[in-house]
């Protein structure tokens, strides 16, 4: 089997993509694409990402004839500029080998650290040269003046390998690459070391994680090829675990008198869902929702701080999702969403329903003691809404299991109105609107029918709020 050869010299971009695909699948990249030997591995017991990874030598061969200090080089037969092309450059004692480009440039990847000897052969040339000081995770740029039988390093420059870090956006197994969410594309070859400290050790496994909607955090180092592409030198891939996330609701006592309260400001008034512990920093703000026994609401503002993610909700929205709870009840609230990579998360916290209005007659929340005639009118209007929903069920435009929770909230509002309690009724009607919005969002009810119901219920709420 042939040695591990560089895929990158003398190829067009399209050829390079194909070559990288074959390399990623475990094939070599010579002219016949023969199976390749195993890639060079780090020393036993080492952890490449911890700083023990091998490095890169980016070289430039110059034809002999210029003034050099070594007498042996001066005395050696000169070579013509044309003869620096298509020469084979090999790290002695390894299978790391590549050929020079038309201008004599070459690149050797994953070269062992320390001092190495390069053997240069082909086209009448058979020379060797020692390159010293190959450091871990470095790109050592060397200029080598070449004679037919001798060579000498005339210039060196050390460049640290570029580091990357970010979340996975996509994987292209055909091209043999992955792309980060910031748009950076990194190619993978047999020379790429997958850090065993990570959860994923191959491009195929990375593609499977992406297919399964898992959020993957990637970090490592890259080599810039002579074609300007980023090739992974070391890659560490960790599946982001949502288990450490923690939820705190502030405040944790929700007042039935919040019915009709406005939006929270940037100062934090309202209900805040505070999510701490990594990976809070990867929460997708648009995915966040809060659910109680009477509906689902969405934040009016989100903020990412240094130590937490915050989602802020209207007080009126928050109390609407526990509208059926009695004062003193402990209610479980769920906050859920997804990470930017697609991983879902769900957290729960418990709140207590309270009533700060000491003058409330029945302790059922916000009293309002509306006029009996007004209550009767509101009840009749709510019954019309129930009749409309039952009509949708009868016509097949709405599933019975979708209609049931909607009607339950309307019946709860009627029960409050029968007691002449306006504020609880308003909260229960608000819970109906939240549930309706969630069902429309998921396609369980048409936008046209949802619009009719929203208008009917908002008219009832306006009627009740006008009684204050």
**pLDDT tens across the length of the chain (468 residues):** 333 334 444 444 434 443 444 344 443 333 332 222 223 333 333 333 333 456 888 889 998 754 344 443 444 455 554 578 899 999 999 988 999 988 888 888 888 888 999 999 998 899 999 999 888 778 888 999 998 888 999 998 888 888 999 999 999 999 999 999 889 999 998 778 898 889 999 999 999 998 888 899 999 988 887 778 898 888 999 999 888 899 999 999 999 888 765 545 433 458 999 999 989 998 999 999 999 998 999 999 999 988 899 999 999 899 999 988 888 899 999 999 998 878 899 999 999 999 875 444 444 444 456 888 899 999 999 999 999 999 999 999 999 988 988 998 898 889 889 888 888 888 889 888 888 988 888 899 999 999 999 999 999 998 988 755
Full set of structural domains in the chain with CATH = 51-160 (2.60.40.1120), 162-239 (2.40.50.320), 246-354 (2.60.40.10), 372-465 (1.20.1440)
Peptide linkage before 279 cis (omega within 30 of 0)? yes
CA–CA separation, 225 and 324 (whole Å): 64
Are 186 and 161 in contact by the 8 Å Cβ rule? The answer is no
DSSP-based three-state secondary structure for 250: strand
pLDDT for 76: 46
Query: If we measure between CA atoms, which residue out of 198, 199, 161, 165 comes closest to residue 181?
Result: 165
Alpha helices in 76-214 (DSSP H): 203-211
Question: HSE on the CB side for 3, CA within 13 Å?
Answer: 16
Query: If we measure between CA atoms, which residue out of 429, 273, 261, 242 comes closest to residue 351?
Result: 273
Q: In Å, how far from its chain's centre is CA 183?
A: 12
pTM: 0.50
pLDDT for 91: 94
Other beta carbons within 10 angstroms of residue 371's beta carbon come to 11
Are 370 and 464 in contact by the 8 Å Cβ rule? The answer is yes
pLDDT for 399: 92
Q: In what order do the strands lie in the sheet with 55-63?
A: 105-111, 55-63, 138-146, 151-160
Question: HSE on the CB side for 376, CA within 13 Å?
Answer: 3
pLDDT for 25: 41
pLDDT for 134: 84
Q: What is the dihedral of CA 63, 64, 66, 72, to 10 degrees?
A: 150
What are 193's strand-pairing partners? 234
DSSP-based three-state secondary structure for 233: strand
pLDDT for 228: 84
Query: If we measure between CA atoms, which residue out of 140, 107, 104, 143 comes closest to residue 122?
Result: 104
Q: In Å, how far from its chain's centre is CA 272?
A: 24
């Amino acid at each position: 089997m042939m040695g591990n050869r560089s895929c990158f010299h003398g190829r067009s971009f399209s050829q390079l993509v194909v070559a990288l695909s074959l390399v990623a699948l475990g094939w070599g990249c010579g002219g016949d694409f023969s199976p390749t030997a195993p890639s060079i591995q780090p020393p036993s017991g080492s952890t490449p990402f911890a700083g023990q990874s091998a490095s890169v030598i980016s070289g430039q061969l110059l034809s002999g004839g210029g003034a050099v200090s070594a007498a042996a080089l001066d005395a050696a037969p000169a070579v013509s500029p044309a003869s620096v092309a298509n020469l084979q450059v090999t790290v002695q004692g390894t299978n790391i080998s590549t050929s020079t480009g038309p201008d004599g440039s070459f690149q050797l990847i994953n070269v062992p650290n320390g001092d190495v000897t390069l053997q240069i052969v082909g086209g009448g040339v058979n020379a060797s040269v020692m390159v010293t000081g190959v450091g871990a995770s470095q790109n050592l740029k060397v200029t080598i003046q070449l004679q037919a039988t001798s060579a000498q390093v005339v210039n060196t420059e050390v460049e640290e390998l570029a580091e990357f870090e970010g979340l996975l956006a996509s994987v292209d197994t055909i091209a043999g690459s992955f792309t980060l969410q910031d748009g950076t594309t990194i190619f993978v070859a047999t020379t790429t070391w997958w850090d065993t400290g990570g959860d994923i050790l191959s491009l195929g496994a990375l593609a499977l994680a992406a297919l399964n909607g898992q959020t993957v955090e990637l970090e490592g180092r890259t080599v810039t090829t002579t074609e300007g592409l980023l090739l992974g030198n070391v890659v560490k891939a960790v599946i982001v675990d949502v288990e450490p996330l923690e939820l705190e609701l502030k405040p944790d006592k929700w007042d039935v008198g919040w019915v009709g309260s406005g939006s929270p400001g940037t100062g934090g008034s309202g209900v805040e869902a505070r999510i701490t512990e990594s990976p809070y920093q990867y929460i997708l703000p648009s995915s966040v929702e809060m659910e109680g026994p009477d509906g689902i609401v969405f934040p009016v503002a989100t903020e990412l701080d240094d130590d937490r993610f915050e989602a802020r909700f209207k007080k009126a929205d928050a109390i609407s999702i526990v509208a059926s709870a009695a004062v003193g009840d402990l209610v479980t609230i769920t906050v859920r969403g997804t990470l930017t990579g697609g991983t879902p998360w769900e957290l729960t916290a418990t709140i207590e329903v309270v009533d700060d209005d000491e003058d409330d007659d029945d302790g059922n929340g916000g009293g309002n003691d509306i006029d009996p005639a007004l209550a009767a009118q509101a009840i009749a209007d709510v019954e019309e809404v129930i009749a409309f929903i039952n009509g949708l069920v009868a016509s097949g435009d709405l599933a019975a299991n979708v209609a049931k929770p909607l009607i339950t909230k309307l019946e709860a509002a009627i029960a409050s109105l029968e007691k002449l309690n306006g504020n609880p009724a308003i909260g229960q009607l608000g819970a109906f609107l939240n549930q309706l919005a969630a069902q429309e969002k998921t396609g369980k009810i048409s936008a046209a029918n949802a619009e009719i119901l929203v208008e009917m219920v908002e008219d009832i709420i306006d009627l009740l709020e006008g009684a204050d």
